Amino acid sequence: MNLLPLIERELRVGARQTFTYSLRVAGVGALLAAGCIFWLMTDSSADFGARLFVVLHCALLGAIWVLVPMLTADCISRERREGTLALLFLTPLRPANIVVAKAMAQGLRAFTLWLAALPALAIPFVAGGVGWKEAFLSTVVSFSSLWLAMAAGLVASARCRNATRSLAAAGILSILFVLVFPLAMACILVATFELSRAASSWTSLTLQVWNGLNGEGSIIDLGFWLATDWDGFWATKLIGPGWGRWSWVVVGFGIVGASSLFMAAWLIVRVTARTVERVWREEPPSARVLWLQRKFTTPIFCERFFRRWMRWELQRNPLGWLERRSWSARLVMWGWTAVVICVYSSLFANVGLYERSFYGVQIFQAGLLVISIAASATGSFRRERENGVLELLLVAPLTERQIIGGRLRGLWGKFLLPETLLVAMWFCCLTMLPGYTEPTEFGILVFFVGTFATLPVIGLYYSLARKSFISAFLWTLLAGIALPWFMARLANTDDLSGRFFQVLGLDAARTDFSLQFFQAALAVVFFLLMRHHLQHRKFAV
Amino acid sequence: MNENIPPVIPIPNASPAPTPAVQTFGLTRMYGTIAALSGLDLTVNQGDLFGFIGSNGAGKTTTLRILATFLAPSAGRAQILGYDVVGDADAVRHVIGYMPDFFGVYKDMEVTEYLDFFGACYKIPAAQREKTVSDVLELVGLSEKKGSLIGALSRGMQQRLGLARVLIHDPRLLLLDEPASGLDPRARIEMMAVLQELQRLGKTIIISSHILSELQTLCNRVAIIEKGRLIYSGPVQGVRDQMSQGRVVWVRVATDTARAMELLKARPEVAEVTPVDGEIKVTLAAEDTDHSIVAEVLVHGGARLLELREDQIGLEEVFMRVTKGETQ
């Protein structure tokens, strides 16, 4: 296998991409942000170092599961789009060679992310309360996650040609792996601990582990505790004095690490390589696929009405029509509407679920909708940038304001139905149904309403400003959610807020709507920036 | 066609010269410290089929982009049918059709959908759009493909679709950047025929191309640009005459080539006679000499004349002579 030229090329290309470096900064930034928030929110105590370690370990896992699939999601699909994958197949390289070379290059990039985070991870060791045993367990879990997250990205990248779809598929696979990984981990560790009980009569480690959950929760919960070291789980339940018990823990975690590596290798060498072998010729869709597409993506009733509606939409707002004309856009709109209806139906049909999980489900659902809006907005002008239509639009008799406004209305319209449904149902539940007296929940609802309104503006700006979709997506989330939240926190801190809002003459806004104020202000700034950049033809090419 | 088209500045009947379709005055465009255009002065008359020639990086695309209002000039100004490309950009956009050197298509759209979309962008009323789309498709010969996905069209067809898009709002000036690049010979000839038809319909066309042999027969005027500077602008024949160093006539006789050469050398109208591969190369002394004098001398001298043809300098030869192949 002559993989070196391919690896070298991948690394050279990666070295020229600013995204490679900004990803490391994002990873370390996430860790430091988590550490800072923890430091601000908790009092320093004797076990400060141990508790900070848990926070940083969880933040690192989160960064791995979010950033690594993003990093790898476009590595094969981009080659497919640019037509260079077929050129590789004209050389003596085989599909497995290509995929393994890609995996090694991407793995190295992901490894540098972990290396960059290492200094931040060392802080708890300096603070005290954390030993090398925790470091070992954290490394095993991190690397197992890293391999699987990378495999998720590669599998998705081989299957999809389109960058957005590849990213979405990588995200879905990543979520699936996040659920399966703790489950598998719990099963492996429980089996190992059972074996340890059979081998030596000194302990019942499994029982102790189970007791850690106080008799509550499922095996998935146990897996999450084992993977994340939640509440210092490792120190209290796994790491004891002496070598007897610890050696079995090492064996258990070793099996977890080896299994993850084996699983990732199987996914890369077998699944991804086979997919690449199947798709590299870029055959046109088969008659069966075309039939399925026609059958399930065209309206079967009120066809004339829909056609007239779309013509009216085209006449009124051509840029918005462009955003909503495809079947995938319709699928997003109606799919989200169906999801919201299903979630509320399940919640209302099951009183227990409603009482136990209403708040969490709401947040999760709204969060996913926000991510979906961000992905749609950041992919919005990208296609026009890439196929050159943006240049044609800019020489058509449309002002920059009309181009941006038209597209924004298209984006808002695409998500209006599920958003309205979600907000209306949430509001009704808050005001009419019993059991929810949490005063902060109104604030969260208003935050989501503000995000639904402002995120498309910021996403649209980054779809023009950033060449890489993933970079644009991350910047959108950062500028659309994290930045206003941080600014609002800063403004509401007693020593700063007074001065800040007094200067602006908005002292009253401070208590209730400071977050929304910053969201709106940022949206206006990004709108003006976007118009200015379009007027001066400054966009990524 | 469009209600929003501002009125064009009227051309006074008394004036012998019509308003030029395009006029640039010291047009300059800088990219950082690099000057893509340096003080370009260009005039294109209405109804011209104007060839814009230059090496890669000479500044052709930059000029067309400025004329299309996509780029603003760093210095100088440009007028299209009397409108300033910066100050009256909106009015300019109504009267021009710009076809860049890439397709600019959505491959998952149908042909009519694509044209319908751009028609809506140009604010053509919905009722009128259907007929307009049908007309332009017929003009470019794509009527049979109206329901096809753009991704399924060949390169030549996509190029023709680009031309159809340019025509959708019935512009008076077409700015075509390499419209025939990458096309097979048949598609190129068809494209050129469409352009001639458009010129006949009264459109002014500026076309940048590397295929000079075609421009030579297609265009009535050309401009040659190098390193952002205009080298020549005028009729095609003008540049040929300017470049030719004496007229050359090639002669082939049946027998006794030496005798024929002596007959020709004896005439004062002939500057030089040279034998080349069985033919005689005759260089005439003056530009305005009628080349029939060569035939007359040979026939009266008893030589059996088989072939006589005048050697015309081609646009490619002209281009190679006037440019040094330098780019920015």
Q: C-alpha A388: how far from its chain's center?
A: 29
For residue A393, give how far its alpha carbon lies from the nearest alpha carbon of chain B (Å): 8
| pLDDT, tens only, A10-48 | 888 888 888 788 878 877 887 888 778 777 777 666 677
- From chain A, the residues in CB contact with B103 under 8 A are 387-388
Residue B121: closest C-alpha in chain A = A318
- Interface contact B122-A389, CB threshold 8 A: no
In this prediction, residues A112-128 reach a mean pLDDT of: 84
Torsion angles phi and psi, residue B247, rounded to 5: -80, 145
What average pLDDT does the segment B86-108 reach?
90
Q: What 3-state class would DSSP assign to B98? A: strand
Q: Is the pLDDT of residue A240 over 90?
A: no
Q: Record the tokens describing residue B98, joined without a space.
A: 């710009």
Rounded to 5 degrees, what angle do the CA atoms A46, A49, A50 make?
A: 95
What CA–CA distance (Å, rounded) separates A267 from A180? 15
- The verdict on a CB contact (< 8 Å) between A318 and B104 is no
pLDDT score recorded for residue B10: 43
Measure CA of the first residue to CA of the last residue in chain B; give whole Å: 41
Distance CA A250, CA A137 (A): 8
Q: What is residue A216's predicted lDDT score, i.e. its pLDDT?
A: 55
User: B36 CB near a chain A CB, below 8 Å?
Assistant: no
Residue B90 contacts A, CB cutoff 8 Å: yes
Return the closest-CA partner of residue B92 out of B178, B169, B199, B36. B169
> Over 90: is that where the pLDDT of B166 sits?
yes
Q: Is the pLDDT of residue A234 over 50?
A: yes
Distances (CA, A) of A121 to A34, A54, A206, A256: 11, 10, 29, 22
Determine contact: A315 vs chain B, CB below 8 A: yes
> Which is nearest to B1 in space by CA: B190, B136, B175, B139?
B136
Task: Write the CA distances from A510 to A8, A441, A484, A489, A515, integer angstroms.
Answer: 54, 18, 13, 10, 9
Give me A288's structure tokens: 């069966």
In the three-class reduction of DSSP (H, G, I as helix; E, B as strand; rest coil), residue A398 is classed as coil
3-state secondary structure of A399: coil
Nearest to B103 among A322, A388, A393 (CB): A388
Nearest to A391 among B70, B118, B165 (CB): B70
- Residue A57 · residue A137 · CB < 8 Å: no
Q: Tell me the DSSP string of A459-484.
A: HHHHHHH-SSHHHHHHHHHIIIIIHH
Q: Chain B contacts of A398, Cβ < 8 Å?
A: 121
CA dist B64 and B69 (Å) reads 9
Cα separation values, A367 from A8, A225, A364, A448, Å = 39, 23, 5, 8
Largest CA distance in chain A: 83
The answer to whether A294 contacts chain B (CB < 8 Å) is no
Q: How many Cα atoms are found within 13 Å in the side-chain-facing hemisphere of B45?
A: 12
Using the predicted structure, report yes or no on whether residue B113 has a pLDDT greater than 60: yes
Nearest C-alpha neighbor of A418 from the set A335, A539, A318, A512 = A335
Collect all residues of chain A within an 8 Å Cβ-Cβ radius of residue B98.
Answer: 392, 395
| Residues 6 or more apart in contact with residue A447 via CB below 8 angstroms | A515, A516, A519
Tell me the H-state helices in A298-399: 303-316, 318-324, 327-349, 351-378, 382-387, 389-394
Q: What is the mean pLDDT of residues A121-138?
A: 84
Higher pLDDT: A24 or A466? It is A466
A311 contacts in chain B (CB < 8 Å)? 126
- Strands B204-208 and B49-54 come out as parallel
Using the Cβ of B322 and the Cβ atoms of chain A, whether some distance falls under 8 Å is answered with no
Chain A CB contacts of B90 below 8 Å: 397, 399
| Nearest-CB residue to A395 (from B4, B70, B102) | B70
At residue A508, the pLDDT reads: 44
Residue with structure tokens 């400025």? B66
Give the one of A326, A387, A395 whose C-beta lies nearest to B69's C-beta. A395
Q: Report the C-alpha gap between A271 and A151 in whole angstroms.
A: 10
Q: Are A385 and B102 in contact (CB under 8 A)?
A: no
Residues whose CB is less than 8 angstroms from the CB of residue B118 and which lie 6 or more positions away in sequence, other chains included: A392, A396, B165, B168
Indicate the residue of A314, A394, A399 with minimum beta-carbon distance to B120.
A314
pLDDT of residue B52: 92
Percentage of residues of chain A with pLDDT beyond 70: 88
pLDDT tens sequence across A252-308: 899 999 999 999 999 998 999 999 988 888 777 788 888 887 788 777 788 888 888
Least confident of A259-273, A485-499, B13-27, B83-97: A485-499
Radius of gyration for the alpha carbons in chain B, expressed in angstroms and rounded: 24
Give residue A461's pLDDT: 96
pLDDT of residue B6: 45
For the residues A162-184, what does the mean pLDDT come to? Answer: 89
Give ∠ CA A76-A78-A81 in degrees, rounded to 5: 115
Chain B residues close to A315, C-beta within 8 Å:
120, 126
Which position has the higher pLDDT, B109 or B8? B109
Q: Contact at 8 Å (CB) between A49 and A130?
A: yes
How are strands ordered across the β-sheet holding B173-177?
B96-99, B173-177, B204-208, B49-54, B221-226, B229-235
Nearest to B121 among A391, A398, A537 (CB): A398
B90 contacts A389? CB cut-off 8 A: no
Higher-confidence residue of A142 and A429: namely A142
